[in-house]
């Protein structure tokens, strides 16, 4: 990607820093399927300790991490409860159904955030052979389609307590948990204590080229390792990837505050620009979701206009767009992106009005 391009499509577009590449080059390696890769072992021990869990498992992707968790927590014919717009339900290829034979019962949250009252009455009768078995609750923090919202801790506490009272297990899709930690000041192990298992990602805000981890009880991770093999996720000399994740944990967590600050710069430009609306209106972390009025054209039209000026954003649906700040976006680039948004979008309005005048009502 050219240095003149400001890529706000996702925090997955980050490239390893020179220091991260050096750590990868120097990594000790071994065959991880045999448990012989010392760098992977260190990473798994580090993640488990951070999240307050007994063990952890390094996997290629957050999707695999989540789907391993679903597989181990459930049996075919079970049901999981999740938020309507969450990643596990919408963006993992129907994995719960395809890989685990599990159905999803969705609850619509406030910008992705559920309240414990919404779970009341949602556990199926266990003695009714006609119904699926409610077995698992899945939450997402931060919530991508909720605009990068940080789950309020008191809501997590209440939902966790409800799940355990009803004999359910609870899993956290924490792909952007690092952002929640920095934004809230709540430690990783404090978040982790309310979940049986937690998935975290290294290839988003932390800037590693690939990789996620699943943490939980020791016996659970033993079973998860077997499912990882079943899903094709058993890799060999992957210390070079684990080294990138370890470097990220050492150097790239606190700097996420910069990404959150840069998101505010871009969010203010969007809020100030006629024809654009922040949705949700409050930006808490590094994700900025916004709507384009129809007079500007579709979301793709707006994205294309910004692309021509060197700013890449993600179009989602007919009118929704997302911008995402990350390791490879500097303060100066955030300011420049904001300037381009303020300059470019009003021209789309003028162009649309001119076309209407030529064509008539």
Per-residue pLDDT, 1: 47
Assigned domain for 228 exists: yes
DSSP string, 272-329: HSTTEEESSS---SSEEEEEE-GGG--HHHHHHHHHHTTEE-EEETTTEEEEE--TT-
Residue 210: exposure state from Cβ atoms within 10 A (0-12, 13-18, ≥19): middle
Domain housing 177: 17-251
Tell me if 310 sits within 8 A of 6, measured CB to CB: yes
Tell me if 66 sits within 8 A of 88, measured CB to CB: yes
Q: Which residue has the tokens 């899945």?
A: 138
The CA-based angle 125-127-133, given to 5 degrees, is: 55
Assigned domain for 330 exists: yes
**Collapsed DSSP state (helix, strand, coil) of residue 252:** coil
Assigned domain for 1 exists: no
Assigned domain for 9 exists: no
Per-residue pLDDT, 355: 35
Assigned domain for 109 exists: yes
Query: Do residue 49 and residue 161 come from a single domain?
Result: yes
Distance CA 118, CA 139 (A): 13
Q: At which of 251, 275, 305 does a domain end?
A: 251
The pair of three-digit structure tokens given for residue 311, joined into one six-digit string? 């700013």
Query: Do residue 84 and residue 211 come from a single domain?
Result: yes
Query: Do residue 231 and residue 123 come from a single domain?
Result: yes
Query: Do residue 309 and residue 201 come from a single domain?
Result: no
pLDDT in tens, the chain (361 residues): 456 899 999 999 999 999 999 999 999 999 999 999 999 999 999 999 999 999 999 999 999 999 999 999 999 999 999 999 999 999 999 999 999 999 999 999 999 999 999 999 999 998 889 999 999 999 999 999 999 999 999 999 999 999 999 999 999 999 999 999 999 999 999 999 999 999 999 999 999 999 999 999 999 999 999 999 999 999 999 999 999 999 999 999 999 999 999 999 999 999 999 999 999 999 999 999 999 999 999 999 999 999 999 999 999 889 999 999 999 999 999 999 999 999 999 888 666 543 333 333 4
The pair of three-digit structure tokens given for residue 113, joined into one six-digit string? 């955030």
Per-residue pLDDT, 352: 54
Q: For residue 329, how many other CB atoms are within 10 A of its CB? A: 26
Query: Do residue 210 and residue 269 come from a single domain?
Result: no
Query: Do residue 247 and residue 275 come from a single domain?
Result: no
Assigned domain for 7 exists: no
Query: Do residue 35 and residue 113 come from a single domain?
Result: yes
Number of domains in the chain: 2
Assigned domain for 244 exists: yes
Query: Do residue 230 and residue 262 come from a single domain?
Result: no
Per-residue pLDDT, 359: 33
Distance CA 35, CA 91 (A): 31
The pair of three-digit structure tokens given for residue 11, joined into one six-digit string? 């925090």
The strand pairing partners of 324, in sequence order, are: 287
**Residues 6+ positions from 167 with CB-CB distance below 8 Å:** none
Residue 228: its H or E element: helix 218-230
Residue 217: exposure state from Cβ atoms within 10 A (0-12, 13-18, ≥19): middle
Query: Do residue 282 and residue 200 come from a single domain?
Result: no
Assigned domain for 3 exists: no
Per-residue pLDDT, 347: 85
For residue 176, what is the domain's CATH number? Answer: 3.40.640.10
Per-residue pLDDT, 351: 63
Distance CA 95, CA 138 (A): 14
**Collapsed DSSP state (helix, strand, coil) of residue 238:** coil
Q: At which of 251, 281, 303 does a domain end?
A: 251
Query: Do residue 153 and residue 33 come from a single domain?
Result: yes
Distance CA 93, CA 310 (A): 31
For residue 260, what is the domain's CATH number? Answer: 3.90.1150.10
Query: Do residue 41 and residue 177 come from a single domain?
Result: yes
Q: At which of 251, 268, 295 does a domain end?
A: 251
- Supply φ then ψ for residue 237, to 5 degrees: -80, 75
Query: Do residue 198 and residue 268 come from a single domain?
Result: no
């Amino acid at each position: 990607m050219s240095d003149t391009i400001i890529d706000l499509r996702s925090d997955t577009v980050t490239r390893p820093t020179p220091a991260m590449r050096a750590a990868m080059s120097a990594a000790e390696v071994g065959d991880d399927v045999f448990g012989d890769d010392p760098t992977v072992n260190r990473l798994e021990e580090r993640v488990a300790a951070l999240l307050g869990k007994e063990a952890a498992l390094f996997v290629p992707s957050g999707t695999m991490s989540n789907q391993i968790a679903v597989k181990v927590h459930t049996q075919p014919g079970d049901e999981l409860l999740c938020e309507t717009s969450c990643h596990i339900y919408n963006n993992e290829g129907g994995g719960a159904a395809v890989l685990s034979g599990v159905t999803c019962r969705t609850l619509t949250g406030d910008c992705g955030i559920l309240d414990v009252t919404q779970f009341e009455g949602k556990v199926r009768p266990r003695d009714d052979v006609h119904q699926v078995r409610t077995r698992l609750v899945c939450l997402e923090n931060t919530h991508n389609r909720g605009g990068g919202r940080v789950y309020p801790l008191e809501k997590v506490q209440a939902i966790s307590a409800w799940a355990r009272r009803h004999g359910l297990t609870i899993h956290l899709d924490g792909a952007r948990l690092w952002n929640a930690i920095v934004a809230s000041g709540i430690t990783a192990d404090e978040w982790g204590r309310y979940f049986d298992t937690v998935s975290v990602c290294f290839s988003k805000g932390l800037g590693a080229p690939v990789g996620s981890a699943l943490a939980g009880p020791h016996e659970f991770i033993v079973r998860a390792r077997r499912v990882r093999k079943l899903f094709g996720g058993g890799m060999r000399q992957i210390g070079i990837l684990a080294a990138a994740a370890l470097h990220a944990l050492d150097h790239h967590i606190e700097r996420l505050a910069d990404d959150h600050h840069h998101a505010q710069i871009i969010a203010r430009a969007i809020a100030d620009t006629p024809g654009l609306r922040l949705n949700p209106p409050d930006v808490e972390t590094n994700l900025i979701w916004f709507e384009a009025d129809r007079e500007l054209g579709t979301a793709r039209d707006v994205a294309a206009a910004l692309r021509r000026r060197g700013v890449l954003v993600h179009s989602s649906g007919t009118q929704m767009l997302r911008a995402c700040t990350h390791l490879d976006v500097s303060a100066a680039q955030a300011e420049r992106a904001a300037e381009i948004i303020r300059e470019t979008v009003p021209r789309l309005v003028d162009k649309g009005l001119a076309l209407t005048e030529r064509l008539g009502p």
